[in-house]
Amino acid sequence: MIRASNISVRLSGKQVLHGISFEAPAGQLTAIVGPNGCGKTTTMRAIAGETHYEGNVSINGHDIARLKPWELALKRAVLPQATVISFPFTVREIVRMGLAVGGADRPEEVERIARDALEAVDLAGFSGRFYQELSGGEQQRVQLARALCQIWDPLENGEPAFLLLDEPVSSLDIRHQLTIMKLARDFCSRGGGVVAIMHDLNLTAMFADQMVMMRGGRVEAAGSPKDVMTDEVMESVFGCPMRVNTTPSGTVPFVLPHTAGA
């Protein structure tokens, strides 16, 4: 479980996070949602250990501030929003970089994992392509495959590993949005945990176990999508009145922009 307690972050003198607390248990997909500039990415950077913060972040009970970078790398992998590279690496070479961490030494196994990871993000057959020549959505999926390789078996080290995804589906078409969300769910069902920053509320409601709704550097509401996605929360967080509905089965809430009051 990832536990963030009372995290505050100042960026160039401005308080960006005001004491954020939440828990992301293993086996669950935790989605962080909220309007632009509410501190989602900063929160992600804090729990990834790359930003200086006040408060405490722990993974499976280990304070991340006390872990070495390579110890941390075995407990969590991170997918950034977009990655630009300056050297002509092939897709295969990028994906294999993720495997250099986990210490999968046996060449056949490394080969198999790299291939499986590319297949999982629907990029089988792309291994010989140059990363720089791919579209934005394809690049994002390559990076996801790379991150997956880093913690391929979510329980390999005897404790659950976590995927931290910063807008994993933002530049994907609808089919691949579903592919990636299912992949994240599958990672959870195999014992790992996922924390994802999301913008698409409906996709989030479909796949997330837990929603952390942020506004202005604070957690506004947290809980199951059904509890968090209410008319009141929508209006107070996004500042635009919308009607939340539920699917015919009555379990998954959804919201259409059409319902926004003029």
Judged by the rule CB under 8 A, the positions of this chain that interact with other proteins are: 45, 48-50, 68-74, 76-78, 80, 83-94, 97-98, 100-101, 127-129, 132, 143, 146-147, 150
- For other proteins, give the closer residue by CB, 141 or 215: 141
- Inter-axis angle of helices 136-150 and 107-120, to 10 degrees? 140
Select from 142, 203, 138 the least CA-distant residue to 177.
203
- For other proteins, give the closer residue by CB, 107 or 250: 107
Shortest CB 86 distance to other proteins, Å: 5
- For other proteins, give the closer residue by CB, 7 or 94: 94
Tokens representing 177 are: 């949005």
- For other proteins, give the closer residue by CB, 36 or 70: 70
Shortest CB 24 distance to other proteins, Å: 17
Shortest CB 1 distance to other proteins, Å: 19
Shortest CB 84 distance to other proteins, Å: 8
Instruction: List Cα–Cα distances, 176 to 53, 131, 136, in angstroms.
Output: 34, 18, 13
Shortest CB 219 distance to other proteins, Å: 24
Shortest CB 254 distance to other proteins, Å: 33
- For other proteins, give the closer residue by CB, 154 or 253: 154
Select from 245, 207, 239 the least CA-distant residue to 220.
239
- For other proteins, give the closer residue by CB, 68 or 258: 68
